[in-house]
Amino acid sequence: MLDQLVVNGKKATRDGFGDGLLEVGRQYPQAVALCADLVGSLKMDAFIKEFPDRFFQAGISEANMMSMAAGLAIGGKIPYTGTFANFSTGRVYDQIRQCIAYSEKNVKVCASHAGVTLGEDGATHQILEDIGMMKMLPGFTVINPCDYAQTKAATIAIAEHQGPVYLRFGRPSWPVFTENMPFEIGKALLLQKGTDVSIFATGHLVWKAVEAARELAAHGISVELVNIHTIKPLDEEAILDSVQKTRCVVTAEEHQIAGGLGESIAQLLARRMPLPMEFVGVHDQFGESGTPEALLEKYGMGASHIVEAVHRVLARK
Amino acid sequence: MADLVQLKRIATQVRRDILRQTHYAASGHPGGSLGCADFFTALYFEILRKNDAHFSMEGKGEDLFFLSNGHISPVWYSVLARSGYFPLGELATFRKLNSRLQGHPATHEGLPGIRVASGSLGQGLSVAIGAALAKRLDGDDHLVYCLTGDGELQEGQIWEAALFAAHKKVDNLILTVDWNGVQIDGRNDDVISLGDLPAKWTAFGWDVLHMHGNDMQDVLRGLAAAKARTGKGKPVVVLMKTEMGYPIDFMMGTHKWHGVAPNAEQLENALSQLEETLGDYPYVEKYQPEGA
């Protein structure tokens, strides 16, 4: 299947958010957007131009923005908040926990510049703990799309979903390859069937996993590659179906190993089907300044690291 | 419309409810609740334009109220029950297992009258602003009311919200600050002084009014004055002077009763200072909902 994968240039996932948000504005009159002084970075300009009355510039006041979003949701609106991922989570965790999660408000927390691929701004802004924080909140849906097309589809899909959502995307230009593929919240996307190992990847690392799978195929290793865009709720049946066949697992994500997708899958397998497993992600470290590609390499999230993890897990099988 | 005498009678009964709720729960926050009983009574029995019989989360076509300092839940629960949002007898479940009356107000258990959880301080004003923006988008000319404590103003988010509301001219909003000068660790002035509070709100671009929160007539005057100031391009704040623990003699003039429940002897003493005007709610250990 991967040999038939069509790559339609490169675009940032945040562009998918911006284009998706415009579509949401057109389809849902009750949708509103808020931003904390990062309109350009979040690609919200088109929405603001078309729906100026439905946009609220909060300024550099993320706590106020999150609680205001809860108030707008009380009034029947579908608020989309936009800022960087670290300001969307850690900085405002209590506001999200009390006003949105516990209060069951229909707020969509949309977070750009997640992970080390934010690049040169450095570790102050490169949040690698956000998936863990957000998946721990009862009732929250957590989605980490892998490319422009999937981010756009997810941005539109969450409008229809009743309940709080964390939508995580990023800054860099990235290959676009899911344009003609379906997107459904909570449904894993099978990118390639295989028999030797299951790779479950999310976000930017799905593309790295595609590269890794191609290299492994050249060495006669058959990879089943599954894109887990929805980390919560986890598509448990799809994961178990795959692992039943391959009997070993590698996870790949631009996030701390603690608290991420790999941890969720490990919990599932520990309960249902304990099997050898390796984790590609950040191991209890902060990032630093650099280019996205160089950072992924340095912090162990390049295609070669996924290949190495596959060899390690196969040896334990 | 209730008259002044009747409103005072309700407030007295609300105070009895506060003392009994916290006593039977052996926890809770009676001090600030007692101080705000007149305000809540005026709000729920005179000021708010609302539909008591059919609570809707969205509250379209109604005035909305948000309690930011959620720890004074006993006073809110009392006025909600007594204005028909839920059965009066349910006050017996306050802070107990499987109750809708959580220690701090919450929506999770579906208690009518509550629209957002509060208690982690500094957030309610922002929520109220969001609700006010939604009303403005919908062309709904009803108002949004919010109450915060004064110690709560030490939270930075309050001032983020204050900047925003003034900048965006959120003038369908009335904030009241319970200015009792006391917080859990002592006097505001000893913990972190609020300084010249009226000047601060004025400097932030708000229309600042004052009232005496333990004088029912002045509460009615103050809230009417505040309402008259809405729709004029500025958010409105009413700085409400209250006495924590009012009017129980041994509960006033100290921060001790911020978060301590009266024991049996203290309850008896306190209740002896408040006439039972409307009838106490029946206290039972195991409350059975009607029809259950």
Question: Which residue shows structure tokens 């675009």?
Answer: A11
Chain B contacts of A102, Cβ < 8 Å? 106-108, 117
The vertex-B69 CA angle with B65 and B72, nearest 5°, equals: 90
Q: What is the domain partition of chain A in residue ranges?
A: 11-175, 189-316
Give the CATH number of domain A189-316: 3.40.50.920
Residue B71 sits at the chain A interface (C-beta within 8 Å): no
* A98 and B CB contact within 8 Å: yes
pTM metric for this prediction: 0.97
Bridge partners of residue B187, in order along the sequence: B182
Does B154 contact chain A (CB < 8 Å)? no
Identity of the residue in A71, A98, A104 whose CB atom sits nearest the CB atom of B128: A71
Predicted pLDDT of residue B69:
98
Report residues of chain B scoring pLDDT below 50: none
For residue A61, what is the nearest residue in chain B, using CA coordinates? B160
Which positions in chain B touch A71 (Cβ < 8 Å)?
A: 66, 116, 126-134
Give B-chain residues touching A164 at CB under 8 angstroms.
Answer: none
Q: How far is CA B175 from the centre of its chain?
A: 11
- A70–chain B Cβ distance below 8 A for any pair: yes
Q: Shortest Cα distance from A138 to chain B (angstroms)?
A: 11
Which of A64, A76, A98 faces B117 most closely, judged by CB atoms? A98
**Chosen from A74, A77, A106 to mutate, greatest number of chain B CBs within 10 A:** A74
Task: Give me the amino acid identity at A133.
Answer: M
Q: Does B157 touch chain A (CB under 8 A)?
A: yes
Whether A284 and chain B come into contact, CB under 8 Å, resolves to: no
| H-run or E-run covering A254 | strand A249-256
All structural domains of chain B, each given as residue ranges with its CATH number in brackets, are 4-271 (3.40.50.970)
Calpha distance A80→A23 (Å, rounded): 13
Residue of B nearest to A58 (CA): B164
In this prediction, the residues of chain A whose per-residue pLDDT falls under 70 are: none
In this structure, what DSSP letter does residue A5 have? P
Residue of B nearest to A138 (CA): B108
- Residue A159, both tokens: 């409008």
Q: Are A74 and B58 in contact (CB < 8 Å)?
A: yes
* B59 touches A at CB < 8 Å: yes
Cβ atoms within 10 Å of A98's Cβ, excluding its own: 24
Of A62, A253, A254, A263, the active-site residue reads A62
Chain A residue numbers with beta carbons less than 8 Å from the beta carbon of B59 are 74-75
Q: Which superfamily, per CATH, for A11-175?
A: Thiamin diphosphate (ThDP)-binding fold, Pyr/PP domains (3.40.50.970)
Q: Quick one: pLDDT at residue B292?
A: 58
Helices (H), chain B: 4-25, 30-35, 37-42, 73-82, 124-138, 156-167, 188-191, 197-203, 216-229, 264-271
Q: Is A288 a catalytic residue?
A: no
CA A33/CA A55 separation, integer angstroms: 5
